[in-house]
Amino acid sequence: MRTTDDTTTAIAGGPDRRQQLVATAAQLFDERGYYQTSVEDVAEACGIRKPTLYHYFSGKDEILFSIHDEFIDLLIARQRARDEQGVPPGDALQALMADVLGLMSTHRGYVRVFFEHYRELNGEARAAIKRKRDDYQASIEALFRRGAETGEFRAVDPTLATLTLAGMCNWAYHWYDPTGPLSSDDIASAFRQILRDGFEKDVER
């Protein structure tokens, strides 16, 4: 693989090169593990030398933060777009489940890093991501409250309902196969049905 230490060329790459570094790091962290991947590994995979990488990031900690930040920003942006469009609560919940499941195909490394390496963020970085995660959770809780107000949902504890939803989706990267017979939308639809109908059949007692 060709490498270069041309600082002028590297800086001219700007946001595109920075994005390439983040995406490559996410892939390497997924394939090799966060601790097993060095800054030099990321630089080499991007065709640059380690000193050039430091024009974009101070080190692996900052790259890790950027992966978290880009991923949660993407989820928040999609959720806000649905809020602005006035998507009904049930459809919005199914769509946000499809968001997470679909990103396992397009952003698999981001997903693994986001759910497995939050604790590796340093104090300020962790606090910043926690605020965004809390905002995202609050938006989902608001969906459950709005659904109850409109009569689409039963009145349930919105926090517990949100955590239930997260538990269904966030663990799926361990078993979801994008090449399998079910698409992310198929699984989101199935999850919605399970949440709506539960497991037990109505029987006369």
Per-residue pLDDT of 1-30, as tens digits, reads 333 344 333 434 566 889 999 999 999 999
What's the chain's length in residues? 205
Full-model pTM: 0.85
Place of tokens 């942006």: 77
pLDDT (tens digit, 9 = 90+) per residue, 18-63? 999 999 999 999 999 999 999 999 999 999 999 999 999 999 999 9
Q: How crowded is the C-beta side of 101, counted as CA atoms within 13 Å?
A: 28
Buried b (16+ CB within 10 A) or exposed e, 79-97: beebeeeebebbebbbbbb
- pLDDT recorded at residue 10: 41
CA dist., res. 103 & res. 73, Å (int): 13
Q: Name the residue among 185, 181, 183, 161 with its Cα closest to residue 91.
A: 185
Region 144-154: what's the mean pLDDT?
93
User: 78: helix, coil or strand?
Assistant: helix
Residues 172, 178, 184, 190, Cα dihedral to 10°: -70
What structural domains and CATH numbers belong to the chain? 7-57 (1.10.10.60), 61-197 (1.10.357.10)
Judge whether residue 89 has pLDDT over 90.
yes
Judge whether residue 141 has pLDDT over 60.
yes
pLDDT (tens digit, 9 = 90+) per residue, 94-132? 999 999 988 988 898 999 999 999 999 999 999 999 999
